[in-house]
């Protein structure tokens, strides 16, 4: 293929999030031509449960691609590859004919806490093999729960796919996954980047029930002709293996080398830093996973409640999140605001406690909605501080953070995080694109484009430096937040 034809190629990046699907069109020159999205809803039929119907993901993908086509112009006919990033840890159970056996159990589902202890008892080497402690959000405990509570479904399960991999199968007919997403199942030997027969056996499962393993940029198939026709795409579009959402987000902002770090302020919250080898720190609730690039791993501190906490408060108040962020109290009034422990869906790092609950602390009749809105976003900053402390104890030393995700559009929130974590926070231009951009970059790599040309650091729109005048007050409130955890948890 000529250099000229390579330079005119375009790719699609898709991101299957919890609250919606995003789609972007990226040229080989790195120009973001168009983006589109479609919303998703989460079903919570019982306390601690969190589910979605895979058919809803497909409808959202279809809607997003049709909208993307409308704004893509002539670049649409130049699309040569696509890749999907997606929410991690979810379990899509398929029968022998590929039928979905039950709604997908999502990453923020907490029903399988008892099965975590059972899994580690069945396989005492769990933490050594997987580089992680068993947590209810991961995929393997979900299957133990299904085996115990829905034995007929478990008996009929022929394949288990992660959410984005179910979409890849629909797109190209191949049951595949990538190592970054597979590392979050607790079925992967993370150091060897291979399925672990011992971990599967501990769940009563076999390697044959797993999809084929690939590295993120590897092509796994071509887009089915029926979808190419529906979306008016060229025939032969390659489909890459893709990545878990956090690894894809990191690739989207060029965080691929040790010492770099990103902060994802989406539905969940993540601090993500690459490492050159699989250094495990499971006792601190730190996740150690494969990156979506060969020979690279990463550590993550994961908080289940980030922008979702502000979305919850928005529903309670009936005010849009942007309105709540616009009415925050001034700096002089913030130290008198209540505290908020934002554990609306349990917590991972550092507590590994799906039963943790949220609390407003120190409310008085003098507090108003702006003060409580501040408490909500500050509570999220506090859980990020806990996550950073866990990473630092595990040996990571990020010097600054790149912020991505929906919450990264808020200057007030990013400044508060910088003050609380005492680290500079950079806001990349186009931060809202997130994992979809990383998926698009993986698609370019699948076409053979050079790594250094594809995985470029972003242009920084704004940097938020810790404010020396605010840091002491932020630290006082952080210490009160940390001191409140144990006694309040004992009462919940």
The answer to whether 298 and 275 have CB atoms below 8 angstroms apart is yes
Q: How many CB atoms lie within 10 A of CB 46?
A: 10
Q: What whole-number distance in Å separates Cα of residue 132 and Cα of residue 289? A: 8
- Whether 129 and 278 have beta carbons less than 8 Å apart is answered as no
Q: Two tokens at 19? A: 């609250």
Reported as type and span, the H/E element at residue 86 is strand 79-86
The three state secondary structure string of 341-407 is: ECCECEECCCCCECCCCCEEECCCCCCCHHHHHHHHHHHHHHHHHHHHHHHHHCCCCCCCEEEECHH
Which residue of the set 245, 353, 419, 426 is catalytic?
245
Among 5, 37, 64, 56, smallest CA distance to 227 is for: 64
Angstrom distance (rounded) from CA 399 to CA 425? 10
Secondary structure (DSSP) of 57-69: HHHHHHHHHHHHH
The answer to whether residue 245 is catalytic is yes
Beta-bridge partners for 367: none
The set of catalytic residues is 245
């Amino acid at each position: 293929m000529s250099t000229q034809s390579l330079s005119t190629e375009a790719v699609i990046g898709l991101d299957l999030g919890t609250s919606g699907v995003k789609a972007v069109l990226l040229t080989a020159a790195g120009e973001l031509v168009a983006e589109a999205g479609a919303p998703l809803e989460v079903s919570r039929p019982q306390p601690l449960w969190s589910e979605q119907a895979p058919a809803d993901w497909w409808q959202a993908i279809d809607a997003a691609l049709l909208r993307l086509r409308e704004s893509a112009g002539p670049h649409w006919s130049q699309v040569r590859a696509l890749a999907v990033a997606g929410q991690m840890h979810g379990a899509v159970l398929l029968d022998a004919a590929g039928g979905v056996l039950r709604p997908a159990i999502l990453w923020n589902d907490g029903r399988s806490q008892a099965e975590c202890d059972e899994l580690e008892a069945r396989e005492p080497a769990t933490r050594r093999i997987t580089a992680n402690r068993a947590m209810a959000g991961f995929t393997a405990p979900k299957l133990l729960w299904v085996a115990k509570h829905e034995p007929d479904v478990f008996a009929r399960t022929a394949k288990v796919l992660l959410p984005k991999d179910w979409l890849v199968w629909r797109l190209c007919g191949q049951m595949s996954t990538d190592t970054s997403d597979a590392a979050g199942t607790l079925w992967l030997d993370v150091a060897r980047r291979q399925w672990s027969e011992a971990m599967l056996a501990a769940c009563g499962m076999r390697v044959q029930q797993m999809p084929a393993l690939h590295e993120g940029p590897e092509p796994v198939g071509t887009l089915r002709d029926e979808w190419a026709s529906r979306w008016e795409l060229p025939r032969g579009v390659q489909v890459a293996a893709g990545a878990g959402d956090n690894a894809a987000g990191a690739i989207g902002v060029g965080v691929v080398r040790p010492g770099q770090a990103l902060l994802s302020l989406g539905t969940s919250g993540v601090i993500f830093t690459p490492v050159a080898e699989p250094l495990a720190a499971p006792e601190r609730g730190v996740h150690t996973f494969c990156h979506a690039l060969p020979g690279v791993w990463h550590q993550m501190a994961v908080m289940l409640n980030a922008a979702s906490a502000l979305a919850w408060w928005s529903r309670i108040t009936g005010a849009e999140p942007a309105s709540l962020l616009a009415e925050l109290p001034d700096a002089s009034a913030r130290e008198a605001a209540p505290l908020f422990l934002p554990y609306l869906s349990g917590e991972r790092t550092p507590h590994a406690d799906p039963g943790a609950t949220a609390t407003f602390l120190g409310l008085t009749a003098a507090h108003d909605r702006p003060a409580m809105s501040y408490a909500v976003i500050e509570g999220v900053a506090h859980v990020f501080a806990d996550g950073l402390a866990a990473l630092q104890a595990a040996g990571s030393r990020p010097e600054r953070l790149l912020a991505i995700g929906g919450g990264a559009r808020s200057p007030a929130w990013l400044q508060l995080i910088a003050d609380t974590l005492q680290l500079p926070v950079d806001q990349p231009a186009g931060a809202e694109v997130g994992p979809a951009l990383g998926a698009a970059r993986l698609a370019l790599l699948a076409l053979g484009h050079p790594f250094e040309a594809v995985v470029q650091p972003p242009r920084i729109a704004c940097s938020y430096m810790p404010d020396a005048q605010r840091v002491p007050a932020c630290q006082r409130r952080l210490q009160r937040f940390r001191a409140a955890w144990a006694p309040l948890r004992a009462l919940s």
